[in-house]
Amino acid sequence: MLSESSMRTPLARVRGLGSAKSGTGHFWLQRVTAVANVILTIIFLGVVIALVGKPYPAAIALLSHPLVAILMLLFVVSGAVHMRIGMQVVIEDYIHGEGAKIAAVMANTFFAIAIGAACVFALLKLSFGG
């Protein structure tokens, strides 16, 4: 039996959902991408350091290697997902108007997709010899 002092609405109690509905999934996805970002950032910095002072053809040659290209793509995708989730948390915490909050979350999602897509396009173009 539920206590009478529950803060949850009757509909939320029936559905068994918390106030954010998907908070646990976002929490874990943000933690997983954070750990992945630590590892992938170290690899990214290694690639950048390896290319310091090298000409453009050397960058193309390095990024054309399948392992390097895949690791850089993972770096970009993980970073974009982590950025979207992190900004969504900030938006949900600090924007109180419902319409403004929805617009900001949508803009945040579109921005993360645009940045991720542009980076993926650039990496694929470079890795395939563009």
**What does the pLDDT read at residue 14?**
63
Q: Phi-psi bin for 27: left (phi > 0), alpha (psi -120 to 50), beta?
A: alpha
The Cα 67–Cα 16 span in angstroms is 44
Average pLDDT over residues 100-117: 97
Burial profile 44-69: b = 16 or more Cβ within 10 angstroms, e = fewer: beebeeeeeeeeeeeeeebbeeeebb
**What does the pLDDT read at residue 129?**
73
Global pTM reads 0.78
What CATH class is the domain 21-127?
A: mainly alpha
Q: Phi-psi bin for 55: left (phi > 0), alpha (psi -120 to 50), beta?
A: beta
User: In this model, does residue 17 exceed pLDDT 80?
Assistant: no
**What does the pLDDT read at residue 73?**
97
Q: H helices of 7-129, where? A: 10-15, 23-51, 56-63, 66-94, 98-127
| pLDDT band at residue 128 under the 50/70/90 scheme | confident
Lowest mean pLDDT segment, chosen from 17-26, 39-48, 97-106, 109-118: 17-26
| pLDDT band at residue 22 under the 50/70/90 scheme | low
The Cα 58–Cα 63 span in angstroms is 9
